[in-house]
Chain A
Amino acid sequence: MDTCSETNEEVRPETLMPLLKVDQLSKHFYKLVALSRVDFEIEKGEIVGLIGPNGSGKTTFFNCITHIYPPTDGHVLFKGKSMKGLRPDQISRMGIGRTFQLIQLFLEMTVLENMLMAVQEHRGNLLSRLFQRDEAEERKRALETLAFLNMAHLKDEVAGNLSYGQQKLLDFGMVLMPGPELVLLDEPTGGVEVEMRLKITDYIRKLNREGQTFVVIEHNMDVVMNLCERIVVLNYGEKIAEGTPEVIQSDQKVIDAYFGVQE
């Protein structure tokens, strides 16, 4: 079945199109079905939560969108354009930023270098990156973002020396650096203490109010229910529910997936 066919010839004008449209996305690892025909849409300016028990395919879903793993089937449209055959770095440069469950930083670089690294490939071309050293604008943006995250005082600190929570924040800041249109956050508050969790959710909310679009994988139900306007639930690689937090909380399938089916 060839559902990965070219879909560039989408006819809807860009304004009417969802920012990201995922159509029948499947991912198989040999015989294991990690994702099975998942449909997903997100409009500009939304915060959508992606939840599900462990092993339900949430991270695989992100990995398939960003082509860390190429999807087995189905297609993904970003602003109406197919992402078929693109590499992760090309997808990042298209305007989709993401974080990972395990923080991915350049631990030997300073905080500021990490921030600059996160944006340098989004400007100019390969040759200009050898010759143009004027980073004034990028540096300014990095310092502004760090100031927004209350991390400006740590700019010269080596990333490996930061606390776990600070590393999470830096990871978040790096994703924001190039000004992506869509941000995929994989457990942004996972493993951090309550105060930092509140801080991070507050930042996400603030940015969303300014128009930033987010998809958030999160295990903490308080965070998801308070933060997200819409929630998608995955279980065993299938989408089992979608709706507002109120709808999801009372959905029997979701309750069964989390707590087991009552005999």
Chain B
Amino acid sequence: MKGWKGWLPWGVVIVLLCIVPWFLKAYTLFILSFSLVNIILAIGLNITLGYAGQISLCHAAFMGIGAYTTGIMVTHGWSFWLSLPLAGLIACFFGTIIGFPAIKWKDHYLALVTIGFNIVGYLVMQQEKWLTGGPHGISNISRPSIGPLKLASAVSYYYLLLFFVILAILSSVWIIKSKWGRAFMAIRLNELAAKSHGVCSHHYKLLAFAIGAFYAGIGGSLFAPLLKYINPESFTFFASFEYLIMVVIGGMGRIEGPIIGALIITMGPEILRVAEAFYLIIYSLILILIMLFLRKGLVVVVDRLREWIPVLRLTKR
């Protein structure tokens, strides 16, 4: 569907997300804000994994690089707005380096290489106290302001995150709809065919990692002032698994996939807290059931809804 009508349901969702924070308690708002950060990260991983098919289990390390860049810079008096692009670019640089093994290895071999990188990243964050503050991390990371407008309150920072989520979605759509996006898909679907039709898989694999890491760096940079405190425990390779789960559960290689996945995986455990001791069991069971019956991810549910609800049919797939 073409034209403005195609974007209508998205617009409704954005308006809802704009209204919602005024009705939420502080903790719930924090969880929703954290979900927004995770959406940015999952969008990045969706490009690397979902579109280009390159498994990356070090997404949390890229996030950590972004978070520490902002943490260190802001606590040393630099502007957040300078640290934000730098966080993305430094993560992007490391993403490109991690992309090199992807040229030679794939699947579980590549997974192991990326886990290795995440562990090294974690150790650096934990051991290099002079830079990262060690296990205690960095505290007092102040939230930014735009001119006279201070974004210190939870609600105002939520709006900043929402703005970056929209930017992340639009930019990822733009990349995916470009020839790069098609080349990413070609490599994932049939690398031999891609190569024999002139696709330089080396370049595109590096790009897929670099772009994924850039989003993770930006996400990390936005995460640091959200919590105002960062430590290495947020960036372990278990966190990387969570991002993998978000993309897979949401629906790999679909624009809506990481958005749904990030929301469910971040908010799911909080909602299930009412089940107290059973919450992890229920949570795990739900994940297993989703993978058993919805292998293409929860995005399939949205597709079904689209068939039933006429207005949703207008959204682009």
Q: Which residues of A contact B (CB under 8 A)?
A: 66, 68, 87-90, 92-93, 97-98, 100, 104-109, 113, 116-122, 126, 129-133, 174, 178
Contacts and interface: CB of A to CB of B under 8 A. Distances in A.
B190 interface: yes
A106 B198 contact: no
Q: What is the predominant secondary structure among interface residues of chain B facing chain A? A: helix
B175 interface: yes
Q: How large is the interface on B (under 10, 10 to 19, 20 to 34, 35 or more residues)?
A: 20 to 34
Contacts of B198: 89, 92-93, 118, 121-122, 178
B193 A87 contact: no
Contacts of A98: 196
B178 interface: yes
B197 interface: yes
Interface stretch (B36-44, B128-136, B199-207): B199-207
B180 to A, nearest CB: 5
Interface of B: 175, 177-180, 182-183, 185-186, 189-190, 192-203
B196 A92 contact: yes
B103 to A, nearest CB: 11
Contacts of B197: 89, 92, 117-119, 121, 174, 178
25 contacts: A66-B196, A68-B196, A87-B195, A92-B197, A92-B198, A93-B198, A98-B196, A100-B192, A104-B196, A106-B186, A107-B190, A109-B182, A109-B185, A117-B182, A117-B183, A117-B199, A121-B197, A121-B198, A121-B200, A129-B180, A130-B179, A130-B180, A132-B179, A133-B178, A133-B179
A113 B195 CA distance: 16
Contacts of A107: 189-190
Contacts of B202: 87
Given A89-B200, A130-B175, A133-B178, A106 B190 contact: yes
Given A129-B179, A129-B180, A105 B193 contact: yes
**A-B residue pairs, 10 tightest by C-beta:** A121-B198, A104-B193, A129-B179, A92-B198, A88-B195, A106-B189, A118-B197, A93-B198, A89-B200, A120-B179
A132 B192 CA distance: 25
